[in-house]
Structure 1
Amino acid sequence: MVSHAHQGTTSSALTRLSVNAARLLGVPAHGYAHLLGLAPEHLNDDLCRTPTATSIRIAELSTAHVPWTELSVALARESGIGALGVWDYLITSAPTPLEGIRDAAAHFAAVADPGTDTLRITEDGEHVTISHVNQADLTHEAACAIRGYALGLYQRRLSEAARRRLAPVRVTLAAEAPRRHDALTELYGTRAIDFEAPDSSITFLASDLKAPTPQFQPGLSTVLLRHAEQTLATAIPLHGWLDLFRTTLASVHDDTTPTLSATARRMAVSARTLQRRLDEHGTTWNNEVETLRRAQITRLLHDTDLSIDAIAARSGYADARALRRAVQRWYGTTPAALRRTGHAAPAHSV
């Protein structure tokens, strides 16, 4: 389910594509390596949502380094099937390519910023037009590159679904005509490209998109749709420093009982600086650890059959008695009762 928290962020998979393309194009890394969400533990975590501003900055640096058409093509080349996670397979696993792109449009927030990006599909007799709308605050060149890439991505995925290269009837780009657009002709598989159009779109014969998908497996599309929804529902949007801290704390917690010094080292700051930043954000180390433990314990009680002793050990409590006291403080009940009911009452303040 898309929430307000997802706005202003994109999937880490899409950000990885931007980084990989920038490297291929020789864009100096010092211009973007420090940006929020590009630390390896966040960039390589598919549950993290990177700030849209990070991807925008990489695109702007890239188009300052090469023509926008080169960035469009580089991004498309890096977009092999699966590069964008389960969203890619929504297109290739539906009964027809048209149904696949409709599923992808309905779940576009799984990869793109739901606050700025929209994927629209329009049927008009013999033709189907797929339009990409991007309203992010990008420089002109970067915006052209993103629009050009998006259309190339849709052409590639639909062709993969059909198991043959689909030739579009026409392409329209809300971009100024470049000096040369040979690369775009090759990318889309057509010379019928109109520039300076009101919208960016790619149009196919309806018969091509309504033909059965050769590799269609009944039931698979439903499973993938459910997985896409779950991925978005559990995603962690990185909007600012506190989000960054909390994802770092969670990653440290996965390895061992989190400590202030270990978390500070992971964030490349001193323990004193970390405490000061938490204070500036109206929270404390103890509050954050307690909140993380509460979420983990609640999940383990609901989703596993682990004993109370095992959950206490996994969560960093000395024994089951300490865990019971914590659950009583949070929810006013016992771990056993919480497990039976299957849901938590409103938690008390930590």
Structure 2
Amino acid sequence: MSVEAARLVRVPSHGYAQLLGLTPEHLNDDQCRIPSATGLRLAELTARHVSWPEQAMLLVQQSKLGALGVWDYLITAAPTPLEGIHDAADYFATVADVSTDRLEIAVDGGLVTISHLNQADMDHEAACAIRAYGLGLYRQRLSEAARRNLIPVKVTLAAKAPRCHDLLIELYGTRAITFEAPTSTITFLTADLTTPTVHAQPGLSTLLRRHADQTLATAIPLHSWLDLFRTTLSSVYDEATPTLGVVAQRMNLSVRTLQRRLSEHGSTWNGEIETLRRDHVTELLLHTTLSVDAIAARTGYADARTVHRAVQRWHGTTPITLRRTGLRS
């Protein structure tokens, strides 16, 4: 996601960004791109204080025109709102991590359905807030493009129904909201989105698309704190059997701080070690001819029997069968 989007999440997060490895320099550099895991974690921390509908409404209120840079103007400067939202979908990577989130447009006769696709489960409140925010943001930008308040035909949310719907009714301008849907969508009449934008300037959309291309070409991808930890753990693992103390020292952290950071990211030291060993053992089984005894020696297991038990636990099969079938974890 872009730092413009991260700033919106950061405002009510009381400095949580720094806990996730984001420095003021990162958050002030519009070229930086933040992993969705980091953005979602910021939203999670914020969600401790408000419900997901409240968070979605707060984010939309903070998303004034221009807050998301060129992406905003791709919508509002296009010849029609429909062309604008298509441009926004094409350049979604300027504001979002497209490895986890997608914006899709479907035109079916008299209706246009805009979908915000996100991999997270509907029980995940922070993800629900982001999906709900996305739909509210699309309505807000399209209304700004049309220069009138657009009312959707219906809204579907991949979220469980909250106790109170009032904020969502205000956010979308309709009571036609369905919960626990497979996908979060907002649907408009095609006629509402195909009326020419009265203030559109010929050629401006082309210039904005070029600017968006340049933005993506010069983007600086940032790693999440968990990515940095895993890189450090892997480097230590390549040298010797990793210990919590050694990894903490490499990262200039105390052992207690390292454990707390892992907990903040929903992980544990033992879980990370297990994942690293699983990946290493699987890689050696699939891409080398080493014996199981040799693999055990290389990966810190006591003997071949221990590797057999681990592979059975991970993959539900034996090392030999895994190697033969090429099954990947």
Query: Residue 87 in 1 paired to residue 71 in 2?
Result: yes
Of 103, 124, 136, which aligns to 1:119?
103
1 CA distance for matches of 2:104 and 2:5?
19
8 A contact 2:52–2:125 mirrored in 1: yes
Shift of 1:238: 0.8
- With over 3 angstroms needed to count, the CA separation of the structure-2 counterparts of 1:240 and 1:55, relative to structure 1, is closer
Question: Retained in 1: the 8 A contact 2:116–2:184?
Answer: yes
Corresponding letter in the other structure for 1:33: Q
Please show how residues 145-156 of structure 1 align to structure 2 within 5 Å: 145-156=129-140
**CA contact 1:60–1:138 (8 Å) conserved in 2:** no
- CA distance in 2: counterparts of 1:122 and 1:50, whole angstroms: 28
Q: Are the aligned partners of 2:38 and 2:224 in contact in 1 as well (CA < 8 Å)? A: no
Matched with 2:314 is none
Structure 1 residue ranges (4+ consecutive) displaced by more than 6 angstroms after TM superposition: none
2:24 pairs with 1:33? no
The answer to whether the aligner puts 1:193 opposite 2:184 as a matched pair is no
Contact 2:81 2:193 in 1 (8 A): yes
1:52 and 1:113 in contact (8 A); partners too? yes
Task: Report sequence identity in percent.
Answer: 65
Per-residue deviation, residues 49-104 of structure 1 (Å, max 9, x unmatched): 12322211111112222111100000000100011000000000111000000000
Q: Identify the residue that residue 165 of structure 1 maps to in structure 2.
A: 149
Instruction: Tell me what 2:58 maps to.
Output: 74
Residues 53 and 240 from structure 1, CA distance in 2 versus in 1: closer, same or farther, beyond 3 angstroms? Answer: closer
Q: CA deviation at 1:164?
A: 0.5
Deviation at 1:240, TM superposition (A): 5.6
Give 2:18's aligned amino acid. A
Does the 8 Å CA contact 1:32/1:57 hold for their aligned counterparts?
Answer: no
Query: Runs of 5+ in structure 2 lacking a partner?
Result: 229-249, 252-329
TM-score, structure 2 normalization: 0.67
2:213 to 225, 229, 240: 229
Q: CA deviation at 1:221?
A: 0.4
- Asked if 1:206 corresponds to 2:197, the answer is no
Q: Could you tell me how far 1:36 is from its partner in structure 2? A: 2.2
Equivalent pair of 1:60/1:139 in contact (CA under 8 Å): no
Deviates more, 1:50-59 or 1:188-197: 50-59
Structure 2 residue aligned with 1:50 = 34
Q: Which amino acid aligns with 2:9?
A: S
* Counterpart contact for 2:70–2:211, Cα < 8 Å: yes
Q: How does 1:1-350 map to 2 (within 5 A)?
A: 10-20=1-11, 22-23=12-13, 28-29=14-15, 31-37=16-22, 39-136=23-120, 140-239=124-223
Q: Is the 8 A contact 2:122 2:128 kept in 1?
A: no
Q: 1:35: Cα distance to partner?
A: 1.5
Letter in 2 for 1:63: A
Measure how far apart 1:200 and its partner are: 0.4
Q: Which residue of 1 aligns with 2:299?
A: none
User: How many equivalent residue pairs?
Assistant: 230
| Conserved? CA contact 1:90–1:225, under 8 Å | yes
What is the Cα deviation at residue 40 of structure 1?
1.4
Aligned CA distance change for structure 1 residues 134 and 219 (closer, same or farther; 3 Å): same
Secondary structure in 2 matching 1:175: coil
The equivalent of 1:4 in structure 2 is: none
Offset from partner CA, 1:128-178 (integer Å, 9 cap, x none): 000000115796111111111000000000000000110101100011111
Unaligned runs of 5+ in 1: 1-9, 245-275, 278-350
Q: Secondary structure at the match of 2:112?
A: strand
Amino acid at match of 2:118: N
Identify the residue that residue 343 of structure 1 maps to in structure 2.
none
In structure 2, relative to structure 1, the CA distance for the partners of 1:118 and 1:240 (3 Å cut) is: closer
Root-mean-square deviation (CA, aligned residues, Å) is 2.0
Q: What is the rounded CA distance, in whole Å, between the counterparts of 1:98 and 1:36 in structure 2?
A: 38
Residue aligned with 1:131, SS: strand
Q: 1:240 to 1:194 in 2, by over 3 A?
A: closer
Q: TM-score, normalised by structure 1?
A: 0.63
For the structure 1 residues 136 and 194, does the alpha-carbon distance in structure 2 shift closer, same or farther, using more than 3 Å as the test? Answer: closer
CA distances 1:298-330 after superposition (whole Å, capped 9, x unpaired): xxxxxxxxxxxxxxxxxxxxxxxxxxxxxxxxx
SS of the aligned residue for 2:155 comes to: strand
Compute the displacement of 1:182 (Å): 0.5
